[in-house]
Each structure stands twice: as structure tokens, then as C-alpha cells.
Amino acid sequence: MSLFRKKSLTQLLATADSEKGLKRTLGATNLVALGIGAIIGAGLFVRTAAAAGQAAGPAVTISFIIAAIGCAFAGLCYAEFAAMIPIAGSAYAYSYVTMGELVAWIIGWALIMEYALGAATVSIAWSEYLNTLLGGRIPYEWSHSPFESFTDASGVLHQGILNAPALVILVLLTLLLIKGTQESAMVNAIIVFIKVAIVLIFIVVGWSFINPDNHTPYMIPEGTAAFKDQAGKTIADYSGVFRHGWGGVLGGAAIVFFAFIGFDAVSTAAQEAKNPARDMPIGILGSLAVCTILYILFGHVLTGVAPWTDFVDPVKGREASVAYAISTYMTGYGWLATAVTVAILAGFSSVILVMLMGQSRIFYTMSGDGLIPKVFGDLHPKYKTPYKANWILLIFVGAFAAFVPGHVAGDLTSFGTLFAFVLVSAGVWILRKSEPNIKRPFKTPWVPLVPILGVLVCSAMIFALDKQTLTVAMIWMVLGLVVYFTYSKRNSKLKEPGHHPGEILPKASDFE
């Protein structure tokens, strides 16, 4: 039996038109807010300084532009698919109809790294920021995993037990998602307003504190000496090709790419859009455009207020970067540092919300195809949300967030996303060749140029990731192949007796 058997568009569209399926409650404004809610978060507040300190220097603004260009190519391809095939499966579903089941499974498995692993990682960061805002009032034991410990100034050893705040925020957001998509979108819109307002305040106020000397030289020069901590351990090495000059700008793009993760999550809500043909392209491309402008301005101000060398320090270059720049160089604006921390908490919350939503919708679609157990496709009898998938996802993500240390690289999440972008870009070109007469409410311009550039730019950013990230990602993908050949291939709905290509299969909502 072929590993590349495909679902027909007829099957996918029949699933989308099911009255028993997900409720269509989202408009264009909701979708743009959904995208911004997922995009502006850990990436902007954490990865900007990290990219500046590790690879790009002040040219992190150019890194944002390169990452945005890669996202724009992929975003145009996502917009064509989402308008044409308005179902919940995102890149997984698009790959199923263009490149076949095995490729669809691989990308569905990779997306778990983007959404589930991403949600867990961000929830751990949320816990850290909450404790910072509260002045460290949450005991170490109840805000860290059992694999973490530290000895205080008095010589007392503190051993982590459970990261309770991370678990609490996951439970609250899961309950909100089960209650309904429209309610989740409303809460997300409020959060988006708060964090965008604070980002704008930082840009406007910080502009007058920019020191032009901090932008000279604009890129990290070749031959820049490595930075070491007090113990003599190297914390930043600029000898690699992706750690200085234009190579560093590309390396910075791979790092800040995490900041753009989210606009593709809009496509997972396609089956809940009121008018997907019109609203999906607006939601995907609109959120991407708004965030790109904010990112470039934010990066310019941050590296102008504080020199990039300040962000080489692991603490200043990650969690405390923005608050550090404000408190150190922007005299009289201590209140803004607190406001930024609040914005970061709000940003993390909306990112977790959209990631949990995206993953549950992908599970919903994969269960309808038989590739994972049908329990993932059960809809709540009243709210019409995949509530069992939400609960199962909470157990998996919650266990990770509560009991695993938080130093899981965001680059793993970037890998899953970039891999999805490559396949979606390729898929548009393939479907243009194989199904040229299908109605396309939105058409990606300049095909095949745009899809080819999407594949090339996103592939380049994958190769710019560090070797450890690529190694772990490959191990994860091999594990996914084991699951496919031991369970999914045997249970696929496409292997049912009597099925023929193009035949309408049972809808995901029929598996309640």
C-alpha cells in the first residue's frame, strides 16, 4: 500500500461543510487578533536581545526583516490553502492532499514541537515572570521542577517539587478553550490590546533614549573575541559563520524566527471562520504585517537604548532584557519596566492560548483520518469544541511544564514551524500543477517564484539552527515514524476496504 496515498479535496471540503463540526464564530478582526496574540510574546521580549547578543548585534532589525520575508512567502501560501480548504488541520491537512499521508503525518508530528512543546516552554517562562513580578514570593520548591535546585546565601539547599504557576495557567486556559472559541478569542483580543499598547509605549518613549553609538558598528565584526563569565566559561563565541557579519544576521534570523511563530496558527482556526475565503488571508497576512512593523521598531529601539554587548549575559540577554534596558538606561521610567513585565505575562498567556488551540485542532483533524485515536476528535455536546483533545493535551503539556526544567530551547519550536512552512510552500506549487482548475478564492502571486523562495529561505534558517537542536529534532522525527508504522498506517481511514481516491470519507465529527 502506498505511503503517499492522498486525500481528495472533495473529502476535505465535505469535512469543512459538516454542520456537526466546529462552530463558525470568528471574523477577520478575531483572526488578526488571534495571529497577533500568538506572535507577540516570548519571541519579541526574549529572543530579540538573545539574537543581538549571540549573532546579529544591532543588525537584529535586518534579522527580523529576513525572518519576515521567509514568513511572508510562507504566509501567502498558507493564505491560498486556508481560503481554498477551510478546515482545522493547517499544514497537516494541506500536505495530505498534495504530498500524501506519510508526509502529512511527518508534518503533523513536527507541529507537536511547535504547539505542544511551545506551550509548555512558554508556560514555564510565564511562571518565572510571575514570580519576578511578585518579588519572588512563590517558594522555589513550588515554582521549579524536581530536577532543579539551588543553594541560597545561608547555605540552605532548595529542591524543586512542582512548577505550580505553569500548571495553573495551563489549566485556566484549557478550561477557557473548552468553553468556546468565541470566548477564547474575546479574552485574546483584550490581552492583545494590552501588550501591543505597552510595546508601542516602549518604542515611543525609548526612541528619545537611543544612543547612535550603540548602532556602530551595525553588525558584529569578524574577529570579535568570545565572551566568558566569571568562572571562565564561554557564553558567546563569534567564530562561527552564523555568528558575525551577514552570516550573523542570518543566524539572528533563525533565532528571532521564534518571534514570528503564530501567524500559521490562524490557519488552524479556518474551520471556525465565518467567511474563510475572505477572512483567512486577512487574518494570516494582516497579523504578520502588523507584527513585522512592531518588531523592527522594537529591535531598533532596544539595541539603541542598550549596547548589544550588554545582552551577551545570559540573564540580560533573555528574561530581563527589556526591563534591564529600561531600568539601566531610561532614567525616570521604572514604572515602564513593571508594565513591560505585565505585558510579557499577558503576551505569554495569549501565546499559550493560541498554541493549545492550534494543537487541539490538529489532533481533531488527525483523529478523523484515523492516524491517532478517535477520542481526539470528540466534540463537546454543548460547546462544540474538541474537549477531550484539550484535556489529553493538558495532561501532556502540564506534565512537561510542571516537572521538566525550563531550559528547553525555543529553537526546537522554530524547527517544527520552519519545516511546516517548507512543505506548505512546496504544496501550493504541487497543487497548482496537479489541480489547476480548482476554485481559489485567494491566489498566491508569482507562482512558482514565491513558493520556491519560501522553501529556500525557510530551509536556510533551518540549517542556521545549532547542531544540538537539529539532532534532537531528528530523534523526535524518527520517533514519529515509529508511531506511524506501528499504529497510524494500520488505522488510516484511507486503507478501509472499498475506499477509492476521491470518495468522501466519514467526517471527523462522526467519531463522537
C-alpha 256/C-alpha 91 separation (Å) is: 22
Q: How many C-beta atoms surround the C-beta of residue 240 within 10 A?
A: 12
C-alpha 310/C-alpha 307 separation (Å) is: 6
Does residue 195 lie within any of the structural domains? Answer: yes
Cell 522553501 belongs to residue: 455
**Residue 356 belongs to domain with CATH number:** 1.20.1740.10
Q: How far apart are the first and last CA of the chain?
A: 28
Half-sphere exposure of 448 (CA within 13 A, CB side): 10
Query: The C-alpha cell of 313 is what?
Result: 549575559
| CB-based burial, 213-232: b 16+ in 10 Å, e otherwise | ebbeeebbeeebeebeeeee
Residue 203's closest CA among 341, 295, 133, 68?
Answer: 295
Does residue 291 lie within any of the structural domains? Answer: yes
How many distinct structural domains can be found in the chain?
A: 1
Does residue 2 lie within any of the structural domains? Answer: no
| Cis-peptide into 217, omega within 30 deg | yes
DSSP result, 382-451: TT-S-HHHHHHHHHHHHHHHHHS-S---HHHHHHHHHHHHHHHHHHHHHHHHH-TTS--SS--SSTTHHH
Give the residue numbers spanning the domain of 329: 28-149+156-222+244-496
Does residue 184 lie within any of the structural domains? Answer: yes
Cell 558575525 belongs to residue: 244
Report pLDDT for 415: 83
Does residue 330 lie within any of the structural domains? Answer: yes
Report pLDDT for 362: 85
Report which residue type is found at 401: A
Query: The C-alpha cell of 385 is what?
Result: 469544541
For residue 159, what is the enclosing H or E element? strand 157-159
Report pLDDT for 320: 63
Does residue 4 lie within any of the structural domains? Answer: no
Does residue 16 lie within any of the structural domains? Answer: no
Does residue 19 lie within any of the structural domains? Answer: no
Summarised one tens digit per residue, pLDDT across range 201-259 is 999 999 999 999 999 999 999 989 888 766 677 778 888 888 889 999 988 988 887 77
C-alpha 448/C-alpha 428 separation (Å) is: 9
Q: Per-residue confidence of the chain (512 residues) as pLDDT tens digits?
A: 477 788 777 766 666 555 455 677 778 888 888 888 777 876 677 788 888 988 899 999 999 999 898 888 988 998 898 888 777 667 888 888 888 899 899 988 988 877 887 888 788 878 877 887 887 888 888 888 787 777 777 778 888 888 899 999 999 999 988 887 667 778 878 888 888 888 899 999 999 999 999 999 999 999 898 887 666 777 788 888 888 899 999 889 888 877 787 777 777 777 778 888 888 899 888 988 999 999 999 999 999 999 999 988 765 555 568 888 998 899 888 888 888 888 888 888 888 888 888 888 888 889 988 999 999 988 888 878 888 999 999 998 898 888 876 555 456 777 888 888 898 899 999 989 988 888 889 999 999 999 999 999 888 888 877 787 888 889 989 999 999 999 999 999 887 554 444 333 333 333 23
Asked if 247 contacts 234 with a C-beta cutoff of 8 angstroms, the reply is: no
